[in-house]
Amino acid sequence: MKRSVAYFPLTLAALMLGLVVVVLGAYTRLSDAGLGCPDWPGCYGKFAVPEVADDVQQANALYPDRPLHQDKAGKEMLHRYAAGTLGLVILVLALLAWRNRRAPGQPVRMPMLLLALVVFQALLGMWTVTWLLKPIVVTAHLLGGMTILALLFWLLLGQFFHGPAAPGTQDRLLPWAVLGIVVLALQIFLGGWTSANYAAVICPEFPACRAGEWWPGPDFAEGFIFWRGLGVDYEGGVLGTPARTAVHLAHRVGALVTVLVLLGVAARAMFGQGRGARVIGCFMLAILCAQVGLGIANVLMVRPLPAAVAHNAGAALLLLSLIALLHSACVRRR
């Protein structure tokens, strides 16, 4: 297969940077720094966090309702710089793919799809700020980042594997991998919705929720209203206790279902044929166990920042392991 010499290292760099962006996004969100810069794409009218006294005074005059917090603004801009760099790398990948589009085996559709997703992801980033952390936008931004990460991994795997899988492999692994991806995607959505609605610590006990009760009057109808109009400031959340409880409990139930499904997927991979699938299954099982521990720690320790960020990273690694399993079910080694 003919392609640019830089194609593989750029794809690998994009994947690594994509994982960093996902983790930084979680760190920014969980540090309550999502509105550290109240404008977009700059920060208080500049492309760097104001530090000089005159610049700080000017920034506070521009946004008197949101005085500058340099720590939060720095986290927000770090995430934007990383995301912007990832966008540029994906743009180069798309340009290289288009230039070499007539080369045998050169992927073109995937790099172009990634470029379109990056543009849409940038819009979601802008709306996250300008629409004041609207939960559906924040959650969509998380899902967009995970989708880009998954597609970059698929693109990278395509550098090593090609053609149809061995006979029977699809029948054994493909439905399991697809089921795992669908269930995990729904759970990532529930996790994002929980975080965006500040519902992570509404149940401080485990396995019970609060005051020894497992199901303390949740309001699911209120907790899952996805659109409440514009002009609402969602920083700190707007839901009452029953609605936040419903969101949290939905995430817990989703976690139980996800664990059971992914245990089945990992077992199918570990005890199936093929060394690659067994390695993926073992990796998935290890990450899944860590995820369960981190989830419980986040509840009992009132969401310590390192554990909460690691929980997001664990979800990304589980997704990548499922993508690897799906890829192994669809293609064979060169």
Q: Which of 76, 205, 222, 235 is catalytic?
A: 76
Amino acid at 40: W
pLDDT in tens, 176-187: 999 999 999 999
pLDDT in tens, 269-305: 998 767 888 999 999 999 999 999 999 999 999 999 9
Q: Using alpha carbons, list the distances in angstroms from residue 316 to 139, 165, 209, 313.
A: 14, 25, 26, 5
Classify residue 64 by its DSSP letter. T
* pLDDT in the model for residue 161: 62
Amino acid at 263: L
pTM of this structure:
0.93
* pLDDT in the model for residue 105: 75
| Mean pLDDT, range 230-251, rounded to an integer | 96
Q: Which long-range contacts (CB under 8 A, 24 or more apart) does 326-329 make?
A: 326/173, 326/174, 326/177, 326/178, 326/181, 327/154, 327/157, 327/161, 328/161, 328/165, 328/169, 328/173, 328/274, 328/276, 328/277, 328/280, 329/165, 329/169, 329/170, 329/172, 329/173, 329/174, 329/177
pLDDT at 265 over 80: yes
CB 64 within 8 A of CB 44: no
pLDDT at 333 over 50: no
* pLDDT in the model for residue 42: 92
Instruction: Say whether 76 is catalytic.
Output: yes
pLDDT in tens, 34-91: 999 999 999 999 999 999 999 999 999 999 999 999 999 999 999 999 999 999 999 9
pLDDT in tens, 93-131: 999 999 988 887 788 999 999 999 999 999 999 999 999
Phi and psi (nearest 5°) for 46? Answer: -130, 165
Establish how many alpha carbons lie within 13 A of residue 195's alpha carbon, considering only the half-sphere containing its beta carbon: 31
pLDDT band at 166 (very low <50, low <70, confident <90, very high): low
* pLDDT in the model for residue 36: 95
> What 3-state class would DSSP assign to 131?
coil
Q: Please list the residues that pair with 161 across neighbouring strands.
A: 333
- Rounded CA-CA distance 98/55 in Å is 43
pLDDT at 170 over 60: no
pLDDT in tens, 31-50: 999 999 999 999 999 999 99
